Structure formats: structure tokens, C-alpha cells
Amino acid sequence: MSDWELEEHHVRLLTLAAEAWDRCGEARELVKSQGLTFTTRLGELRQNPAVGVERDSRLAFARLIRELDLDLEGPKDGARPPRLRSTVGE
């Protein structure tokens, strides 16, 4: 965060993105240990609910990162890190 000029709402978005990324990893570990599917007591094959959590968290992360609108080009010649594209020209 020290490399970017972030306003309060950007910090909130970044925090939510980090939480979504963590949740995605947690769900991925559950899927890895429990499998993609499980069998119900009636013998039906069902998707592990963690698969949906992983998918939803991944989508949330991608959307939040897109909302941050970071200019991903690094600073040139030791110049100050770039501002957010959404705040350039203000």
C-alpha cells in the first residue's frame, strides 16, 4: 500500500479483495481434501459446496481488483509510483 496513492474507499476495496482471495484459498483447500463431489445419503452425487464458494470468491476478487483500477505499469527511473487511473486529472 505504500507504493500507491489510495483513498479510503480504495483501501476498503483492497481489503475486500484480500478477504475474497483468502476465502478462495480456504475453499480450494477444502475441495482438495474433500473432493469435488460427495454422495448424499440417498446415493446421489452432489457438488461439494466449497466449489461454489471458491468460484464466487474468485469472481469477487477479480471484480474488486478491476474496481481498484490500478495502473499496473511500474514507476520509471525511480519516479513516484503511478496514481490510480480513476484519479488522474483531478
| The pLDDT of residue 14 is above 60 | yes
Q: The pTM is what?
A: 0.72
Is the residue at 42 inside a domain? yes
Domain count, the chain: 1
Query: Dmax over Cα atoms in the chain, in whole Å?
Result: 65
- Locate 17 and state its grid cell: 479483495
Using CA atoms, how far apart are residues 68 and 23, in angstroms rounded to an integer?
A: 19
Using CA atoms, how far apart are residues 90 and 88, in angstroms rounded to an integer?
A: 6
Is the residue at 81 inside a domain? no
Half-sphere exposure (Cβ direction) of 85: Cα atoms closer than 13 Å: 8
Domain span at residue 38 reads 8-72
Q: State residue 85's pLDDT score.
A: 64
Using CA atoms, how far apart are residues 87 and 81, in angstroms rounded to an integer?
A: 13
Is the residue at 83 inside a domain? no
Is the residue at 85 inside a domain? no
Q: State residue 5's pLDDT score.
A: 81
Is the residue at 88 inside a domain? no
- Average pLDDT of the residues in 82-90: 58
- Higher pLDDT pick, 85 / 48: 48
Is the residue at 3 inside a domain? no
- Average pLDDT of the residues in 20-24: 98
Q: State residue 75's pLDDT score.
A: 54
Is the residue at 89 inside a domain? no
